[in-house]
Copies of this chain bind each other. A is one copy, B any other.
Amino acid sequence: MNLVLLQPEDFISGSGRARLRGRRLKHIREIHRAVPGDRLAVGLTDGLIGRGEIMAADDSSLELDVELEHEPPPPLPLRLVLALPRPKMLKRVLISAVSMGVKRIDLVNSFRVEKSFWGSPLLTAEKLREPVILGLEQARDTILPQIRLHKLFKPFVEDELPELIAGTTPLVAHPGRNAPLPDAVTDPATLAIGPEGGFIPYEIDQLQQCGFRVVSFGPRILRVETAVPALLSRFMKV
């Protein structure tokens, strides 16, 4: 937790003082080992970042005097369309993507996504919020990303994808003898990444008909948790 992410309801009404309990209290006391007088990086969800000085702390709550001054880091100008990863990978992939600044993630079905993945208890809005918060706290960001689930590939591509890719360069990373992914992409983009084993030819056809360009990321087949940060890196301005 490189930043304590605050909600409006954490603030004592009408003041610049926030009161924390639960996970954040525990983390600040046990991991940061912070005590009254210490100052921590804080941010308001969907708002500014700044510093919070610990004014009081005991086993049940902690109070911070908060000053919010700066914009969070710029978002990654990339929309991610990702074949639903297996549940044990999903959380890590979401933390990675959110920490790198992705603000729109569409998790889609594909022929090679196992049906059982869609039954994972991790796919509720509440459970999906956990890796999102961890990713924002990691990167000192405050802007919540949108995550959408699409259990049917064809209706998503035909009915929703055209609007999603509007104003962006749509690319699909796919193994094979395609044009290489550019070293650095500076315009807003939409990047589609298939499941382990890749999208099937029918799905690639559908994406191409929607306007996607098929690009290669070299001969090595990477696990999704490696491929996602490696691919997103090409869209980062540093």
Binding site for B on A (CB under 8 A): 2, 73, 92, 95-96, 99-101, 138-141, 180-181, 183-184, 216-223, 225-227, 229-234, 236-238
Least Cβ–Cβ distance between A9 and chain B, in angstroms: 26
Q: In the complex, A183→B216 CA distance in Å?
A: 17
Task: Say whether A223 contacts B95, CB under 8 Å.
Answer: yes
Closest to A139 in B: B220
Q: Which residues in B have their C-beta under 8 angstroms from that of A232?
A: 230
For the complex with contacts A139-B222, A233-B234, 18 further pairs of A-B residues with Cβ separation under 8 Å are: A73-B218, A73-B220, A92-B92, A92-B225, A95-B223, A95-B226, A96-B225, A99-B223, A100-B222, A101-B220, A138-B223, A140-B220, A181-B238, A217-B236, A218-B238, A226-B229, A229-B229, A229-B233
Least Cβ–Cβ distance between A230 and chain B, in angstroms: 4
Q: Which residues in B have their C-beta under 8 angstroms from that of A216?
A: 238
Partner of A180, one of B92, B99, B100, B238: B238
A184 and B184 contact, Cβ closer than 8 Å, known pairs A225-B92, A229-B229, A229-B230: yes
Least Cβ–Cβ distance between A180 and chain B, in angstroms: 4
Q: In the complex, A141→B219 CA distance in Å?
A: 10
Closest to A185 in B: B183
Partner of A230, one of B2, B95, B236: B236
